[in-house]
Amino acid sequence: MPSKIWRKIRVRKVRGSGKKARIKLQFLMTAGIIVGGSVPFALPTQSSAEKCPELKVVFARGSGGERWTDENYLTFRDAVDTKIKDYGISYEFLDLDYPAIGMNIDSIWSVLGAYFGAGDSYEFGASVDAGVSEVTKIVNKECVNTKYVLAGYSQGAMVVSKSLHNIDADKIIYAATFGDPKLYLPEGKGWIPAACRGENLSDYRAYVPDCRAYEGLLGSYRPYEPSAFVGKVGTWCNKYDIFCSSYFDLGSHLAYTSDNLYEDASKIISAKIADAFSVANRYYNAHDTAILIDSTISMTDLFAKYHDEALNLARKTFAAGGRVALYDYRDLQESYHPVKHCDFDTCTMETIQQALDNLELQGGGDYPESLLSASFTVMKELKWRVGATKSLVILTDDTYHSPDIDGVTFYDVKKLSQEIDPVNFYIITLEGMVEGLRPLAEATGGMVVDSADDLSFLTETIMNRADSLPHVVEEDGEVELPHLEIKEQEKIDNGIRLVIETDADSVMLVVNDMVAGVIDGDSIEIRDLDLTRENTVVLVPLKNGRRGSAVNVSLDDESSEESGVSGYETDNVVVIPKTPDTGAI
């Protein structure tokens, strides 16, 4: 065997040594010649193989984080690693090599005087751009066959979300952002935002409980999810996080580790990785699954079909460390209230099988049944675990009274489902009832299926779910956020002087994406601006624990405008993408 070819195929490790090992390698080479007639390409060297695993998980830490030792990176890495280590793929974690320059968070509430020097503010933007360049180089130019998961916290989230406009989407399995100061959620805008009604939620909204979250403290990247990345992006924003919600609590921004949001994200990420590499998802989230069966006489055939699959669902739930509860219901008009056969503390495979075998199907005959009251009762009675994926599996051949006989409404059920965490409804019914029950399933984040379908598919869908936190928490009523208006604007040497009018208690000043501090007066001067560069000045009104829409200050002769037109840079040209139409108010 020529030495040149020998070096090219030595990349593959073969047990043994000496002549025996060489014989095995020669056999591999010979097999290649037999199949293909010749060796079509040179296999990579051992060193390049080690640099190019099948998967790289890249994390961009936040401002001031130390590379390789940052708590957010370590927590995220451990959460994902625990779930994918048995997938049988080669992978490595990378803490992105970029400056992650500090935003001086400790003094974020410092009060500025009448003068602010902007010279140092350029360093933050340069840090983000350096991170974007590094991500772009890694994904587009290194390891042609490697797939990537990207994640970032705070400044690192900006790096990830901005990078999406520059990288090859085909190589990305998933991109997760946490506490992104450039988040954009159009459904959060308006007097009563669509998100506060649970409507028009962005598909990348993994966990943003604040229904008035509209854009980040530093503006927004639009589109936040480029078309090539649909289904590949997820964002997490802690409820009161100053950088991405409509509140301004700094402690919430620092609590992504303690609030287990990396753990929550790792469930979704591990499932995405398993799907990308066509391997079995060996990680199941903790499940709390309640089964609710319509026990009227018309259910005889449907119940017989579902009996065995209910046992299959219970068996898989228990095997994955989950819990099961079993109830049946009919119609309150017949004075039949939901019956509990066993709950999360008492259900076992034996008690469930006995209850299913002995379940009596009686009564009924009229349409519809008391599903709203029954589901409300089940959710109220059970003690759901925090962090568990929660499902209510309903078997019925009827629709429901709305409102129910005892006054329970569709909205009551939907609201309770979401308050619990949420509880997702999975409804199995006859083909003719699917459309009538679909609104209830979709309002709770679940689905409705035709009983003629393969019900084992529904079981796998439930078991493979990883979401354990609500996409959004709906709110009633109106909330008046503070407003701000620029009354006077004057150019000064290498800077600008502003006079403002606002109903806010204070105003946060952001210069070139760096938080400078808080203004407690009605005027400020910003100096040391390099007028040969792009400059952004943003004022954010703060009042009663809430922040209003940021106002961008124009540094030319044009008037100021509401923030949200932030684009991204490509070859030093600022691109302003079209805002996606989500139907939001």
Residue reference for tokens 């095995």: 24
- What phi and psi, each to the nearest 5 degrees, are found at residue 185? -130, 90
SS3 178: strand
Q: What is the C-alpha separation between 242 and 294, in angstroms, rounded?
A: 46
Residues 380 and 416: beta-carbon distance below 8 Å: yes
The answer to whether the CB of 200 falls within 8 A of the CB of 188 is no
Give the separation between CA 40 and CA 33, rounded to whole angstroms: 9
Tell me what pLDDT residue 40 has.
32
The residue among 275, 474, 303, 271 whose CA lies nearest residue 389 is 271
Walk along the chain (585 residues) in steps of 10 and give the mean pLDDT of each run. Answer: 30 34 31 30 38 95 96 98 95 98 76 87 94 97 96 98 96 98 95 90 94 94 96 96 95 94 93 92 84 96 95 94 96 94 98 97 86 98 90 96 96 92 93 96 92 91 78 85 94 92 95 90 92 90 93 67 38 31 29
Phi, psi of 68 (to 5 degrees): 75, -20
Dist. CA 375–CA 443, nearest whole Å: 13
Q: Which secondary-structure segment (H or E) carries 457?
A: helix 455-464
Q: What kind and span of H or E run contains 384?
A: none
Q: Could you count the other beta carbons within 10 Å of the beta carbon of residue 570?
A: 10
Q: How far apart are CA 327 and CA 42, in angstroms?
A: 63
Tokens of 86: 């048995």
Residue partners of 93: CB distance under 8 A and separation at least 6: 56, 57, 58, 59, 77, 80, 81
What Å distances lie between residue 282 and 173, 273, 375, 391, 467, CA to CA?
Answer: 18, 11, 31, 20, 16
pLDDT for the residue 104: 63
Q: What is the H or E stretch that residue 107 is in?
A: none
- Tell me, rounded to whole angstroms, the distance of Cα 183 from its chain centroid: 12
CA dist 277 and 279 (Å) reads 6
Tokens (6 digits) for 42: 């040179």
Region class of 64: left (phi > 0), else alpha (psi between -120 and 50), else beta: left
User: In this structure, are residues 566 and 550 in contact, taking their beta carbons and an 8 Å threshold?
Assistant: no
At 420, list the tokens. 């619990």
Distance CA 166, CA 132 (A): 8
Domains along the chain with CATH numbers: 3-44 (no CATH), 49-276 (3.40.50.1820), 287-464 (3.40.50.410), 484-575 (2.60.40)
**Model pTM?**
0.72
Alpha-carbon span 181 to 544, nearest angstrom: 20
Separation CA 192–CA 200 (nearest Å): 13
Q: How far apart are CA 498 and CA 129, in angstroms?
A: 28
DSSP state of 228: G
What backbone torsions phi and psi does residue 186 show, to the nearest 5 degrees?
-60, -25
How high is the pLDDT of residue 386? 78
Residue 429, sorted as left (phi over 0), alpha (psi -120 to 50) or beta, turns out to be: beta
Contacts of 285 (CB under 8 A, 6+ apart): 267, 320, 388, 389, 465, 466, 468
DSSP letters of 416-452? HHHHHS-EEEEEEE-GGGHHHHHHHHHHTT-EEEETT
Q: CA 318 to CA 566: how far, in whole Å? A: 49
525 closest CA partner among 547, 498, 552: 498
* C-beta of residue 538 within 8 angstroms of C-beta of residue 244: no
